[in-house]
Structure 1
Amino acid sequence: MTKNTEVVVIGGGYAGVMAANRLTRRDDVTVTLVNPRPAFVDRIRLHQLVGGTHDAVVDYGRVLAPRVRRVAGTVTRIDPARREVRQASGDTLGYDYLVYAVGSGSGGLDVPGAAEFAYPMATLEEARRLRAALDVAPVTAPVTVVGAGPTGMETAAELAEAGRAVTLVCGGVLGPYLHPRGRRSAAGRLARLGVTVLDGPGTVVEAVTRETVRLRDGREPPSAVTVWTAGFGVPDLAARSGLSTDAEGRLLTDETLTSVDDPRVVAAGDAAAPSGLPFRMSCQAAVQLGPHAADTVLSRIAGAPPAPLALALVAQCVSLGRRNGLFQMAHRNDVAMRGHISGRPGAMIKEFISRGILWQLAHQARRPGSLDFPAWAKDRKRQEALRAGAGGSPVATRRGETVE
């Protein structure tokens, strides 16, 4: 009788669910997904939860294959030598292969006063806490959103559309990823919503108090509720478990997403750093990295060499309220181009993509392995960049193996 292969997936976000679903392609693979929450968090809608237009949660029955066993818990340590993970409850789970898809959370909260007085919103629990704070604050109370990436812009627009007095503190430029043309479009929409945008080098936040936000240039905009969207951080689980990470704490892997320390540990999503050159933290990357991590595991089970990464990030979508949005087109190496779609069409594209992500998860749950990104949506320049950065040498090594 053929022995079942046990695969444990840590993390039930976009990457973890995609990986878990795809792993069910083989009947002799048992998949266990460990996640602390009983429902799937549709993270790209957390700004809507804050604005009161969506609850940002979905039943796992909609997006997860029935064969995937769910364990409610938090992994506190990985023991590669014993091939087991330890949970906060003290229970352990053994594995033959491990998919590390722990995602990311809030970052930058080391600014004086930020941890005490600001409200991050990178997780469901944080977003709900912020929503509760807004519910008890008068609608006329000033709200300051710190950070002008997609989450900051989306949250500022959502709250302004609900009638809030919002100041968006950029800490630099508005929408750093955007092409200048797309940035002007976003700025125009925010201005029409009544959002006060503070940008430039002087707008770096140096302190947060109960009633103000103190900027580098000396200004102190009043703030009854300060929303913190300035940056992301990843859990330190890999580092605490003795696995190699980059400076930000992401698990270091080769181009197949295999840990440089252990061929039975594979990473996906925001917490993966393939060849030390991680992709932009995003849902767009997660839904491609998750399936690739699964394919790497399945290849190893089959005794075949896993394939290197072949994916691309080709756009950034930003909702600017319920009736307006921005679809920023990008080159396949994730550099914004001049082209963008704004206004109502931009909002429709963002909503279509947001719904489409859940459709992708559900589709993989029903027909694992049947959905792949098209061949044209690949960044063929990545290998060139990796070879140039490594001086023409192999991009990663793992226990004596060479990965070209």
Structure 2
Amino acid sequence: MNTTTARQHEVLVLGAGYAGLAAAVQLAARTRKRGNLRVTLVNPHDHFTERLRLHLTATGQQTAEMNIPELLEGTGAAFVRGWVTAVDAGAKTVRIDDDRVLRYDTLVYGLGSVADTVTVPGADDHAYTLDGPQDAALLADRLARLDGGTVVVGGSGLTGVEAAAEIAERYPRLTVELLGRQAPGTGLHPKARAHLDAALARLGVRVRGGVEVTEVLPDGVRLADGTAIPTAAVLWTSGTRVPPLAAAAGLSVDERGRVVTDGALRSVSHPDVYAVGDAAAVRQRYGVMHGTCQGGMPTGVHAALSILRVLGGKEPKPFRFGYYHTPVSLGRADAVVQFTRPDDSPRRLVLTGKRAATYKEAVTAAPWATFARMKKMPASGAFWPHGGRHTRIRSAK
């Protein structure tokens, strides 16, 4: 291709989460010396959100600030700050909240997920979430002003467990109740689950498994059996949902609104659209992947490599991923790390206590260093983020 006369191929990446940022940086790193491709990353904020650390923000603790435009400096990739309000898959355009319209030839859809505050009445109006730094900061402000009372964490999944432990450790004057349909740690090895249960008990977290919150009230929650629990604050971590933008654009989506992809992470209805991270319904041999940083970053890398293979006239390779571990913090000096089989089922190998906390901290802190290494990699090099098992692609050429 004569790059001096041919029009640039526009790759638009929506969302600078773990997956979207991995895709943008990987593409930019591999094409910075080429003139026939331009990468533009769109995100509402210019700072990267470490979702794995939002429970720290929610308890008033400082985390590192990571500037996305600074990371992209020198790569040739552009950054556009804005909220995506519409995608037109037919016209290949994206509209953002200031009414700008951005055109693309290839789209990487990585808008991710937020807490499901729609299913249960009152959750959207009266509960706090950990959807972003601003949401977490609102909860931090509320907790700091409480002299006592009960804080309910709705949802006994791992996000709820980490948040409940952090709040209880940081604010011992508060009573923390963790509510959910299942007991915390379901799916972990008995050794890991026993340590998790003991840590929550040590921190004074009151655990209620097998219960369902049917309504969030201005000053409490109501359970399915009619019981009302008075609260000073409610944090909602029960389930996630994705924006309706993909469905509205006419992309094929699953029952949760996630973009259904083929083996190379392309939309099955619109092959010029790649979906990554929580926004994608990515099927593997063991089932559909669930959203984590562990799996999200590799989808972003694979989408980037697939795009380059297609532009080079080759077929993209299938995406293969296996889980490796499940790290769960239990306050600042305690954690449990469950090592897993590729299908995310638990192995017998478990880390607990301070060793696990050190491991968890290292894993949580890794993404920004990973992005920086991607930025500096040679255009023909091979790179996969650590933390999972992947099919290795040695070159996009």
TM-score (normalised: structure 2): 0.90
How far apart are residue 104 of structure 1 and its match?
0.8
Task: Sort the Cα spacing of 1:136 and 1:376 in 2 relative to 1 into closer, same or farther, 3 A.
Answer: closer
How far apart are residue 148 of structure 1 and its match?
1.3
How far apart are residue 125 of structure 1 and its match?
2.5
What is residue 86 of structure 1 aligned with on the other side? 95
Q: Decide whether the 8 Å contact of 2:260 with 2:267 is kept in 1.
A: yes
Task: Sort the Cα spacing of 1:55 and 1:356 in 2 relative to 1 into closer, same or farther, 3 A.
Answer: closer
What is residue 41 of structure 1 aligned with on the other side? 49
1:372 aligns with 2:384: yes
Which of 355, 358, 366 is matched with 1:356 structurally? 366
Q: Distance in 1 between matches of 2:370 and 2:48?
A: 14
Q: Decide whether the 8 Å contact of 2:13 with 2:39 is kept in 1.
A: yes
Match for 1:279: what amino acid? M
What is residue 10 of structure 2 aligned with on the other side? 6
Q: Distance in 2 between matches of 1:165 and 1:63?
A: 41
What is residue 26 of structure 2 aligned with on the other side? 22
Which of 276, 286, 294 is matched with 1:268 structurally? 276
Which of 127, 134, 138 is matched with 1:125 structurally? 134
Match for 2:12: what amino acid? V
1:44-63 correspondence to structure 2 within 5 Å: 44-55=52-63, 57-61=65-69, 63=71
Q: Distance in 1 between matches of 2:388 and 2:253?
A: 31
How far apart are residue 56 of structure 1 and its match?
6.0
> Percent of pairs identical after alignment?
37
Match for 1:297: what amino acid? I
Q: Distance in 1 between matches of 2:161 and 2:236?
A: 12
Q: Decide whether the 8 Å contact of 1:331 with 1:337 is kept in 2.
A: yes
Q: CA RMSD in A?
A: 2.1
Question: Which deviations, in whole Å up to 9, do the C-alpha atoms of 1:5-35 show, x marking residues without a partner?
Answer: 2100000111011000111202232100011
Match for 1:11: what amino acid? G
Q: Decide whether the 8 Å contact of 2:370 with 2:385 is kept in 1.
A: no
1:115 aligns with 2:119: no
Task: Sort the Cα spacing of 1:48 and 1:374 in 2 relative to 1 into closer, same or farther, 3 A.
Answer: closer
Match for 1:100: what amino acid? Y
Match for 2:26: what amino acid? R
Which of 324, 331, 336 is matched with 1:326 structurally? 336
What is residue 159 of structure 1 aligned with on the other side? 167
Q: Distance in 1 between matches of 2:220 and 2:348?
A: 37
Q: Distance in 2 between matches of 1:361 and 1:344?
A: 27
Match for 1:91: what amino acid? R
Q: Distance in 2 between matches of 1:101 and 1:194?
A: 38
1:204-353 correspondence to structure 2 within 5 Å: 204-275=212-283, 277-353=287-363
Q: Distance in 2 between matches of 1:198 and 1:376?
A: 32
Task: Sort the Cα spacing of 1:165 and 1:39 in 2 relative to 1 into closer, same or farther, 3 A.
Answer: same
Q: Which runs of 5+ in 2 are unaligned?
A: 393-397
Q: Distance in 2 between matches of 1:375 and 1:100?
A: 22
Task: Sort the Cα spacing of 1:375 and 1:223 in 2 relative to 1 into closer, same or farther, 3 A.
Answer: closer
Match for 1:288: what amino acid? P
Task: Sort the Cα spacing of 1:378 and 1:291 in 2 relative to 1 into closer, same or farther, 3 A.
Answer: closer
Q: Distance in 2 between matches of 1:272 and 1:331?
A: 22
Q: Distance in 2 between matches of 1:376 and 1:321?
A: 25
Q: Which runs of 5+ in 1 are unaligned?
A: 381-404
Q: Distance in 1 between matches of 2:196 and 2:303?
A: 35
Tell me the number of residue pairs that the alignment of Structure 1 and Structure 2 aligns: 377
Question: Which deviations, in whole Å up to 9, do the C-alpha atoms of 1:250-284 show, x marking residues without a partner?
Answer: 01110100011122111110001134953111111
Which of 114, 117, 122 is matched with 1:105 structurally? 114
Question: Which deviations, in whole Å up to 9, do the C-alpha atoms of 1:121-159 show, x marking residues without a partner?
Answer: 122232122222223222x22111111112111111111
Match for 1:52: what amino acid? G
Q: Decide whether the 8 Å contact of 2:321 with 2:388 is kept in 1.
A: no
How far apart are residue 179 of structure 1 and its match?
2.5
Task: Sort the Cα spacing of 1:117 and 1:258 in 2 relative to 1 into closer, same or farther, 3 A.
Answer: same
Question: Which deviations, in whole Å up to 9, do the C-alpha atoms of 1:217-252 show, x marking residues without a partner?
Answer: 444333110110111111111011111100000011
SS in 2 for 1:221: strand
Question: Which deviations, in whole Å up to 9, do the C-alpha atoms of 1:167-195 show, x marking residues without a partner?
Answer: 11122221234233211210100100111
How far apart are residue 54 of structure 1 and its match?
2.6
SS in 2 for 1:312: strand
How far apart are residue 97 of structure 1 and its match?
0.7
Q: Decide whether the 8 Å contact of 2:327 with 2:336 is kept in 1.
A: yes
Match for 1:357: what amino acid? P
Match for 1:353: what amino acid? V
SS in 1 for 2:137: helix
Match for 2:253: what amino acid? T
Q: Distance in 2 between matches of 1:65 and 1:337?
A: 42
Match for 2:384: what amino acid? D
What is residue 391 of structure 1 aligned with on the other side? none
TM-score (normalised: structure 1): 0.88
How far apart are residue 322 of structure 1 and its match?
0.5
Question: Which deviations, in whole Å up to 9, do the C-alpha atoms of 1:284-340 show, x marking residues without a partner?
Answer: 111111101111111111110000012111111111100001111110111122321
